Each structure stands twice: as C-alpha cells, then as structure tokens.
C-alpha cells in the first residue's frame, strides 16, 4: 500500500505580514512546518520565494522541488530548538579548517592551494584578530584558543535562519572561513565553491571525472549555491 501524499488544494499562495515576520498562506490558511510550527519568515523576499514554491506545485506536492521551504523548516524545527548545539558543532570546523591543511605534493597543487587560500586567511586574520596556522599533511594543527573562542562567539551570534544556511556553507566546503566569507560578502558562492574544491578539481584534471563523483559534486554545488541564496534572502534590507 503506497503512503499518503499531499496534493495541491489551494488556488493562491501568498506572503502575509504578521507581527513577528511574514507568513505564507494558502487561500488564507497559514503554512506550518512538519513539526506544526507556524512558518514565519524574517523577510518579505524569503516569504515570496517560499510562496512561489508552493504556487509552482501542480497536483502532488513535491518537497524536493521546494528548497527554500525546506530550509525554512530546518531553521524553525531543527536549528531554533538547539541553536547552541548547532552553533558549537559548526564552530569546531575552525579548529580543523580546510584552508589550513595543505598538500604534501605535488608542488603544483600546493602552490594552487596557497594562491587561493592564503589571501582568504589574510582576510580572516583581519576579521577575527588572529591568524589560523597552516601545515602540510593531515596531522592536527593546534590553533590559538583565543581565536577559537572568537569563532564560538561569532557563530553563536548568527540567527536561526542564517545558521541554517551557514550550516550547509560550512559543512559542504569543510571551511568555517569560507562560510564566513560568503555570508559577509567577501566571496560569492561561485568564488567560494572554486576555492573549496581545489583538491577535487585537481583530481579530476589528473585522473579524469568519474560519473558518480560528478553527480555527487553537482548535487553539493546546488546545495551550496542555495545556502548562499537562502542566507541572503533571509537578511533584512
């Protein structure tokens, strides 16, 4: 027996201003998250994006075609109830940031990493007041505890919707610095992706592209670009 699937019952989806933000209503009925939390968005731009996804549904509702709605649900149902734990988990990436671990060889790859990653570490030093240490290989590099504490505080200060997006930017890239560079406008998502995928690009150039790997990378790229867009839409103008 197949499971029940939601079908479109509404004629119009539209954002509606509320006291605490923007709701999305379907023929006047408010949308709720899977946990039955009222879906209240922080900005009109994000509410319009969510409403457009509901308006685009035809027949059976397909959640995978609604990335803004799913990210908003995650912000309210997953991030908000455990904001501190999510922030602490993401902050830990600063202690093992991708940009700090350089290739032992070949020399050309190490040079490519340095050319792309060192300027970003320069920016992070100015932003956070201390520099992340780098090294060759995979052995753990102990970072300045004061800098790590600064990471903790700055990640914890990100709001629920921002943290939902920041999660994917950091987890997909493997870099807290890259995540901050995107949300603070230092890099756009295309620039950040190229910086974070230097090793993968090198492997493809050297050994050729595997079909399954290419599909995986494409899916990650879509999620990464969406996270950057979702973050920007959730910012008040």
pLDDT digits (tens, 9 = 90+) for 155-196: 999 999 999 999 999 999 999 999 999 999 999 999 999 999
Is pLDDT at 3 greater than 60 in this prediction? no
Shared domain check, 160 and 98? yes
Examine the domain organization and report whether 108 and 142 are in the same domain.
Answer: yes
| Total structural domains within the chain | 2
**Burial of residue 184, with CB atoms counted within 10 A of its CB: 0-12 exposed, 13-18 middle, 19 or more buried:** exposed
- Which alpha helices (H) appear in 21-159, and where do they start and end? 44-55, 67-74, 83-91, 107-128, 145-156
Query: 90 with 137, same domain?
Result: yes
Last residue of a domain, one of 33, 65, 97: 65
Task: State which of 19, 36, 65 marks the end of a domain.
Answer: 65
Res. 90: pLDDT tops 90: yes
Q: Are residues 34 and 143 in the same domain?
A: no
The answer on 225 and 120 residing in a single domain is: yes
The verdict on residue 75 lying in a domain is no
In a domain, 96, yes or no: yes
Crossing angle of the two packed helices 83-91 and 160-173, in degrees rounded to 10: 30
Together in a domain, 213 and 173: yes
* CATH code of the domain containing 103: 1.10.3580.10
Do 126 and 212 have their domain in common? yes
pLDDT over threshold 90, residue 237:
no
Q: Is 91 inside a domain boundary?
A: yes
Is pLDDT at 1 greater than 90 in this prediction? no
Note the Cα 62 to chain centre separation in Å: 22
Q: Report pLDDT digits (tens) over 191-234.
A: 999 999 999 999 999 999 899 999 999 999 999 999 999 999 99
* Listed residue (43, 59, 69) closest to 159, CA to CA: 43
Q: Looking at the domain assignment, is residue 2 inside a domain?
A: yes
What lies within 8 Å, CB to CB, of 26 at 6+ separation is 9, 10, 12, 13, 54
Same domain flag for 158 and 200:
yes
Q: Looking at the domain assignment, is residue 116 inside a domain?
A: yes
Q: How confident is the model at residue 5 (pLDDT cuts 50, 70, 90)?
A: low
Residue that finishes a domain, picked among 65, 95, 116: 65
Q: Of the given ranges (1-5, 7-11, 17-21, 96-100), which has the lowest mean pLDDT?
A: 1-5
190 with 106, same domain: the answer is: yes
Report d(CA 172, CA 217) in Å as an integer: 10
* CA 61 – CA 67 distance, rounded (Å): 13
Q: Is residue 74 part of a domain?
A: no
Residue 47 lies in domain: 1-65
Residues 61 and 86 occupy one common structural domain: no
Give domain status of residue 77, yes or no: no
> What does the pLDDT look like over 35-62, one tens digit per residue?
999 999 999 999 999 999 999 999 899 9
Tell me: the pLDDT tens digits for 95-115? 999 999 999 999 999 999 999
User: Does one domain contain both 133 and 209?
Assistant: yes
Does pLDDT of 4 surpass 50?
no
Three-class SS of residue 150? helix
Tell whether 172 and 120 lie within a shared domain.
yes
Q: What's the CATH number where 1 sits?
A: 3.30.2180.10
What pLDDT score does 120 carry?
98
Is residue 157 in a domain?
Answer: yes
pLDDT at 59: 86
């Amino acid at each position: 027996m197949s499971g029940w699937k939601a079908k479109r019952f509404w004629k119009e989806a539209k954002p509606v201003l509320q006291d605490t933000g923007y709701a999305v209503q379907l023929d006047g009925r408010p949308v709720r998250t899977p946990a039955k939390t009222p879906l209240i968005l922080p900005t009109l731009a994000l509410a319009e994006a969510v409403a457009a996804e509901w308006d685009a549904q035809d027949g059976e509702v397909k959640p995978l075609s609604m990335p803004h709605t799913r990210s908003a649900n995650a912000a309210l149902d997953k991030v908000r109830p455990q904001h501190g734990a999510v922030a602490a988990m993401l902050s830990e990436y600063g202690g093992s940031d991708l940009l700090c671990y350089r290739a032992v060889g070949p020399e050309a790859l190490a040079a490519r990493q340095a050319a792309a990653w060192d300027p970003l570490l320069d920016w992070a030093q100015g932003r956070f007041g201390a520099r992340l240490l780098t090294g060759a290989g995979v052995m753990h590099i102990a970072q300045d505890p004061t800098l790590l504490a600064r990471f903790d505080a700055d990640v914890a200060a990100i709001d629920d919707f921002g943290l939902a997006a920041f999660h994917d930017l950091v987890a997909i890239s493997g870099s807290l610095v890259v995540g901050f560079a995107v949300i603070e406008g230092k890099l756009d998502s295309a620039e950040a992706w190229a910086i974070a995928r230097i090793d993968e690009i090198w492997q493809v150039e050297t050994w050729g592209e595997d079909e399954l790997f290419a599909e995986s990378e494409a899916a990650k790229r879509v999620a990464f670009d969406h996270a950057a867009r979702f973050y920007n839409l959730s910012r008040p103008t």
